[in-house]
Amino acid sequence: MPPFRRILVLEFISAGGLAEADAGGPEHAALLAQGRAMRDALLRDLLGIDGLEVACAVAAGDVSLEGSGVRLRPLITGETPEAFLRREHMHHGAVWIVAPETDGILAALHAAADNTTWIGCSRSAIQLTTSKSATRRCLRAAGLRVPDEADGAPDNSGPWVVKPDDGAGTVASRRHPTLAAARADAATRGTAQGPTTIERWVEGTPMSLSLLVTGDRAELLAVNRQDVSVAADGMLGYTGVVFERPGPGGPALDWLAAQLALAIPGLAGYLGVDLVMGPDGVATVIEVNPRLTCAYIGLSERLGRPLAAEILAAAATRTETDLVLA
């Protein structure tokens, strides 16, 4: 029997989480496709667990999952995913949320789930990793290689990257040839767009790690290659991730995974780590994604493992431990 009888899945984009002003364009279509792909991969894994009733949040009028075996839980027209979760979470033993960290979305959904078992990272880990600058400081203090920051860098040699401090991936990120140009870009963005951060551009191969964290142990599931482009105006683009090889990744990457789990308390379940593998063979960590990423899609099949079942079992054990300690 599964550790929970009922579980609710909510993927933010496919549940209609974007504001109406942000919907309808090509960028929204790409985000929606990615969101649905992650959602559907997770649902397939969960439906393979005998005795588990799987429900999924869907936007009002969305019938794409009809006949899938999933119990559909539609949002009311105009309802936000956060409001939906507040009224719905108590009907399920656990909730599994896929959402961006941007604008505090993932942390707010964690709060909305209240005391229902949350599958994934703790709220404190989510809040830390939401901030690129806070993550850099945390990992640098743990002895891991991260990009130099504009303040305190040993020199001003470029290029440099300006990005939202709480952004996801390459969204609104631009490379500049000099630190002065990067500072000018950051100054023009203003507070309306939220805080920005400036970090030194790292030369090398963009990659990501798929990690499974249980307690203070991190298992490297897969090493992936990211397709990141730089346009003529310096804007960064992301067109996807390609599974490269299963873990373990060798002593250096296995050590990195272990150190990440120790450096950031509260990491749990599946998470992604974006990094750049330098010409010297040393990885520079760019960001930590405390949630499912696109690299999860098809990973259970590639590894021949029921990853969702393993993550649920670990979450149930963690919940029981918390109750005993309380």
Q: Are residues 79 and 115 in the same domain?
A: yes
**What is the total count of domains within the chain?**
2
At 24, is the pLDDT very low, low, confident or very high (cuts 50, 70, 90)? low
Instruction: Confirm whether 326 is domain-assigned.
Output: no
Beta strand segments in the chain, E? 6-11, 53-58, 71-74, 94-98, 117-118, 160-164, 174-176, 196-200, 205-214, 217-230, 236-246, 269-277, 283-289
Mean pLDDT of 186-213: 91
Q: Are residues 144 and 275 in the same domain?
A: yes
Residue 324 has pLDDT above 60, yes or no: no
Residue bearing the bigger pLDDT, 149 or 319: 149
* pLDDT-above-90 percentage for the chain: 78
Q: Tell me, what's the pLDDT at 198?
A: 96
Mean pLDDT of 244-261: 92
At 317, is the pLDDT very low, low, confident or very high (cuts 50, 70, 90)? confident
Q: What amino acid is encoded at 208 in this protein? A: S
| H-run or E-run covering 323 | helix 307-325
Mean pLDDT of 233-248: 92
Q: Are residues 129 and 253 in the same domain?
A: yes
Q: Are residues 145 and 99 in the same domain?
A: no
Q: For all residues of the chain together, what is the average pLDDT?
A: 91
Q: Tell me, what's the pLDDT at 83?
A: 97
Residue 256 has pLDDT above 70, yes or no: yes
At 192, is the pLDDT very low, low, confident or very high (cuts 50, 70, 90)? low
Q: Tell me, what's the pLDDT at 19?
A: 65
Residue 218 has pLDDT above 80, yes or no: yes
Q: Are residues 91 and 140 in the same domain?
A: no
Residue 20 has pLDDT above 80, yes or no: no
Mean pLDDT of 191-210: 91
Q: Tell me, what's the pLDDT at 132?
A: 96
Domain boundary among 120, 153, 176: 120
Residue bearing the bigger pLDDT, 17 or 322: 17
What is the token pair recorded at 26? 């090509």
Instruction: Confirm whether 325 is domain-assigned.
Output: no
**Domain containing 148 — which CATH number?**
3.30.470.20
The closest alpha carbon to 135, from 291, 263, 295, belongs to 263
At 21, is the pLDDT very low, low, confident or very high (cuts 50, 70, 90)? very low
At 318, is the pLDDT very low, low, confident or very high (cuts 50, 70, 90)? confident
At 193, is the pLDDT very low, low, confident or very high (cuts 50, 70, 90)? confident
Q: Are residues 208 and 261 in the same domain?
A: yes
Instruction: Confirm whether 317 is domain-assigned.
Output: no
- What pTM was computed for the model? 0.93
Mean pLDDT of 236-264: 92
Task: Please give the residue range of the domain that contains residue 266.
Answer: 122-290
Could you give the CA distance from residue 317 to residue 314 in angstroms, rounded to a whole number? 5
Domain boundary among 120, 154, 173: 120
